[in-house]
Amino acid sequence: MQIIDTGIYRFALTSDVKHVHSVAKSLYADSSERDLPVDFKVRLVFDSLVRRFIKPQISFYADQHSPFKPLPLSQAPAVLEWGMNWCVAAHEYSKLLIHAAVLVKNGKAIIFPALPGSGKSTLTAHLGLSGWETYSDEMAIIDIDTAMVNPVYRPVCLKNNSIDLIKKWHPEAFFTPTCVDTQKGDVAHVKVLDWHRYQNLQKVPIVAVVFPKYAAETELTIYSLSQLYGFNSLSKNAFNYNVLGATAFNTVDKIIKSSSLFEIQYNNLKDVDAFLTEDIIG
Amino acid sequence: MPEEKSQNYSLFPGSRLVWFHDGSGVAIYSGYSGDTTFLNNKKPDIVYSEFPISSSNLAKADLIKYLNLGEESAKSVIQRLLSEKVLWAN
């Protein structure tokens, strides 16, 4: 059994696949020395003897539940990360979870809710390796009382062309081996924090919500959004909004009232960095 | 129809209305269904007034004033809030 400590949640991993353990170790080994209870017991296993040897497939289990169909063995490290995301999204009801990246500078958080293909993860990885603190690539974990956002110790999931782009811009960063031909295309994870740096991160207030949209032909264009649009979009991007009910409504209200709201279209991350740093963080 | 007879309203238990201070509209949480709906302000130069959430006996005339939509539109909105059980006719 291997402990995967993401700071706020701890996973106990068992697997038939040594490769999964070695990739998990490369991402989380520096975090897993604390003697604390685990939140989720997860397994990556072969469902049948046939599928161990013929076109091998792997299944993810959280306790006895398997939320995904079996996937090719070569995708096992990516399946583990997706499974860990699922565990949190399906079981965390004490905090508001918004499908968004979170970047922090000078103790101020900006959250980036976005649809797939918006360039969110590329933006997160690049800025996370260029002076910003990456609190999350996948979900903003927000306290319901204070509307402050929590850091989580996870890598950034890169897809397709963004893998080579980030490798080119940040050759010193650690990347997991690329899983090819997954349902999301080619996938690799890049480590944007080490555990020592993570331990110094604190909950911080959200000062802006930015909806990014990569557009190859468009220079940085900034649109100010109404509070109504921002509220509507944030609530639709929350994993557990309907479960939390009025609590989620109140938390989104706090975020909207304390945040600047923008949509940006961009084709250059340096321009985005300058806008976020100078005009939002200030 | 109870809303035609009544002139006073309360928020249904658990319901919430949030007025957006940029004038873009109102977010409504129904304590009955758990649904969130929105009213777009079609006159963004006119900002909604926020009535006290603790109001337990709000006069119809005051509610129309707070919604700031004109009487016919406000009545339509009130009808909707009643049907979604955000408001309760006293």
Domain shared by A40 and A142, yes or no: no
Looking at residue A51, its pLDDT comes to: 73
- Enumerate residue ranges in chain B where pLDDT < 50: 1-3
Write phi, then psi, for A168 (nearest 5 degrees): -70, -40
| Range of A13-17, A56-60, A188-192, B63-67 with top mean pLDDT | A188-192
Domain shared by A121 and A58, yes or no: no
Domain termination site, one of A68, A91, A114: A91
Domain shared by A56 and A101, yes or no: no
Domain shared by A79 and A105, yes or no: no
Q: Which residues of B touch A232 (CB under 8 A)?
A: 27, 38
Looking at residue A184, its pLDDT comes to: 83
Domain shared by A107 and A242, yes or no: yes
Min distance B16 CA to chain A CA atoms (Å):
8
Looking at residue A43, its pLDDT comes to: 95
Q: Give the other-Cβ count within 10 Å of B5's Cβ.
A: 7
Amino acid at A126: H
Looking at residue B60, its pLDDT comes to: 79
Domain housing A133: 94-282
Of A226, A228, A246, the CB nearest to B16: A246
**For testing the chain B interface, which of A209, A224, A226, A247 should be mutated: the one with the most B CBs within 10 Å?**
A226
Q: Which residues of A touch B40 (CB under 8 A)?
A: 228
Provide the percentage of residues in chain A whose pLDDT is more than 70: 100
Write phi, then psi, for A147 (nearest 5 degrees): 60, 25
Give A134-181 as a DSSP string: EEESSEEEEETTT-EEEP----EEEETHHHHHHHHH-TTS-BPPPEEE
Domain shared by A279 and A218, yes or no: yes
Q: Given pLDDT bands bounded at 50, 70 and 90, which one contains residue A135?
A: very high
For residue A16, give the DSSP letter: S
As a whole number, mean pLDDT of residues A43-67 equals: 86
Domain shared by A141 and A264, yes or no: yes
| Cα–Cα distance for residue pair A255/A106, rounded to 1 Å | 18
Looking at residue B51, its pLDDT comes to: 65
This prediction has a pTM of: 0.90
Query: What are the pLDDT digits (tens) for A6-25?
Result: 999 999 999 988 889 999 99
| Cα–Cα distance for residue pair A33/A250, rounded to 1 Å | 37
Looking at residue B39, its pLDDT comes to: 85
**B63: Cβ–Cβ under 8 A, 6 or more apart, which residues?**
B9, B51, B74, B78, B87
Contact A1, A12 (CB under 8 A): yes
Q: Which residues of B touch A257 (CB under 8 A)?
A: 21
Q: What is the mean pLDDT of chain A?
A: 93
CB-count exposure of residue A247 (10 Å: 0-12, 13-18, 19+): middle
Looking at residue B44, its pLDDT comes to: 62
Closest CA to A245 of B29, B75, B57: B29
Looking at residue B3, its pLDDT comes to: 46
Helix (H) or strand (E) holding A200: none
Q: What is the phi-psi region of residue A185: left when phi exceeds 0, alpha when psi lies from -120 to 50, beta otherwise?
A: left
ipTM: 0.82
Closest CA to A208 of A151, A256, A161, A266: A256
**For testing the chain A interface, which of B22, B38, B40 should be mutated: the one with the most A CBs within 10 Å?**
B22
Domain shared by A85 and A194, yes or no: no
Who wins on pLDDT, B47 or A176? A176
Domain shared by A31 and A104, yes or no: no
Contact A227 B36 (CB under 8 A): no
As a whole number, mean pLDDT of residues A89-102 equals: 96
Edge to edge, what strands does the sheet with A156-159 contain? A156-159, A185-190, A179-182
Report the residue of chain A nearest B27, measured CA to CA. Answer: A228
Query: What are the pLDDT digits (tens) for A110-124?
Result: 999 988 788 899 999
Report the residue of chain A nearest B20, measured CA to CA. Answer: A227
Domain shared by A114 and A247, yes or no: yes
Looking at residue B54, its pLDDT comes to: 57
Number of domains observed in the structure of chain A: 2
3-state secondary structure of A14: strand
Min distance A230 CA to chain B CA atoms (Å):
10
Contact A253 B36 (CB under 8 A): no
Q: How many CB pairs under 8 A join A and B?
A: 44
Pairing of strands A204-214, A260-266: parallel
Min distance B81 CA to chain A CA atoms (Å):
16
